[in-house]
Structure 1
Amino acid sequence: MSKNLVLQPPRGTRDWLPEEAYAKRIVSEKIREVFESYGYGEVITPAFEYLDLLKAKAGEEVVEQIYAFKDKAGRELGLRFEMTTPIARIVASRLDLAKPLRFYYVQPVWRYEEPQRGRWREFWQAGIELFGISEPEGDAEVVAVTFDALKAVGLKDFDIRVNDRRVVEDLVLGAGIPGDLLPSALRVLDKMDKFGEEYVVSELAKLGLREDAATSLLEKLKSGSLDIDTSTQPGREGLRRLALVVDTLKNCYGINVTVDYAIVRGLGYYTGFVFEVKAGSSEGLGSIAGGGRYDDLVSVVGGPKIPASGMAIGVERLLEALSMQGALKLDYREVDVCVIPVKKTPEILSEAVAVARELRVAGMKVVLEVSERSLSKLLEAASKRGARFAIILGERELKEGVVTVRDLYLWKEEKVARPHLYEYIRAGSST
Structure 2
Amino acid sequence: FYYIQPVWRYEEPQRGRLREFWQAGVELIGVPGAPGDAEVLAVLINSLRKVGLSSFKVHVNDRRLVEALLHWLGVPPALVPSALRVIDKLERRGAEYVESALAPMVPDKSRLKKFIELLGNDPLQIRLPDELPATAKEAVGELEELVRELEDGYGLARFVRLDLSVVRGLDYYTSLVYEAKTPLGGELGSVAGGGRYDDLIRLVGGPQVPATGMAIGVERLIEALRAEGALAPRSGRTGYYVVPVTPQFRLYAIRVAEKLRAKGEKVVVELMGRKLASALEAADKLGCKYAVIVGQREVESGILTVRDLEAWKEEKIPLNLLVGS
TM-score exceeds 0.5: yes
The answer as to whether partners of 2:198 and 2:211 remain within 8 angstroms in 1 is: yes
Over 3 Å counting, the alpha-carbon distance change for 1:123 and 1:356 in structure 2 is: closer
Return the offset for 1:224. 0.6
The answer as to whether partners of 1:339 and 1:390 remain within 8 angstroms in 2 is: yes
Return the offset for 1:339. 9.0
Gap regions ≥5 residues in structure 1:
1-39, 42-103, 341-349, 370-376, 393-402, 424-431
| Amino acid paired to 2:148 | D
Return the offset for 1:138. 0.9
Match of 1:109 among 1, 5, 8: 8
Over 3 Å counting, the alpha-carbon distance change for 1:172 and 1:151 in structure 2 is: same
C-alpha separation in 2, matches of 1:222 and 1:353: 58
Match of 1:303 among 196, 206, 212: 206
Residue of structure 1 equivalent to 2:86? 188
Residue of structure 1 equivalent to 2:152? 251
- Given the two structures, how large is their TM-score scaled by the length of structure 2? 0.74
C-alpha separation in 2, matches of 1:406 and 1:105: 36
**Number of residue equivalences:** 307
C-alpha separation in 2, matches of 1:143 and 1:162: 10
Deviates more, 1:206-215 or 1:163-172: 206-215
Matched position secondary structure for 1:309: strand
The answer as to whether partners of 1:109 and 1:125 remain within 8 angstroms in 2 is: no
Return the offset for 1:296. 0.8
Residue of structure 2 equivalent to 1:266? 169
C-alpha separation in 1, matches of 2:209 and 2:78: 26
Matched position secondary structure for 1:303: coil
Residue of structure 1 equivalent to 2:108? 210
Matched position secondary structure for 2:187: coil
| Amino acid paired to 2:17 | R
Residue of structure 1 equivalent to 2:226? 323
The answer as to whether partners of 2:24 and 2:216 remain within 8 angstroms in 1 is: yes
Return the offset for 1:132. 0.4
The answer as to whether partners of 2:73 and 2:108 remain within 8 angstroms in 1 is: no
Over 3 Å counting, the alpha-carbon distance change for 1:130 and 1:420 in structure 2 is: same
Deviates more, 1:134-143 or 1:314-323: 314-323
Match of 1:277 among 180, 198, 213: 180
Q: Does 1:124 align with 2:22?
A: yes
The answer as to whether partners of 2:121 and 2:165 remain within 8 angstroms in 1 is: no
Return the offset for 1:262. 0.8
Measured against aligned partners, the alpha-carbon deviations of 1:243-283 in whole angstroms (never above 9, x if no partner) come to: 11122223322322000011111111111111011122354
Return the offset for 1:139. 0.8
The answer as to whether partners of 2:7 and 2:23 remain within 8 angstroms in 1 is: yes
Over 3 Å counting, the alpha-carbon distance change for 1:250 and 1:364 in structure 2 is: same
Match of 2:97 among 179, 194, 199: 199
Correspondence list, 1:167-186, <5 A: 167-186=65-84
The answer as to whether partners of 2:92 and 2:186 remain within 8 angstroms in 1 is: no
C-alpha separation in 1, matches of 2:151 and 2:194: 19
| Amino acid paired to 2:119 | L
The answer as to whether partners of 2:4 and 2:22 remain within 8 angstroms in 1 is: no
Gap regions ≥5 residues in structure 2:
244-251, 271-276, 294-303
Return the offset for 1:155. 2.6
Over 3 Å counting, the alpha-carbon distance change for 1:280 and 1:420 in structure 2 is: same
Return the offset for 1:226. 1.2
| Amino acid paired to 1:233 | A
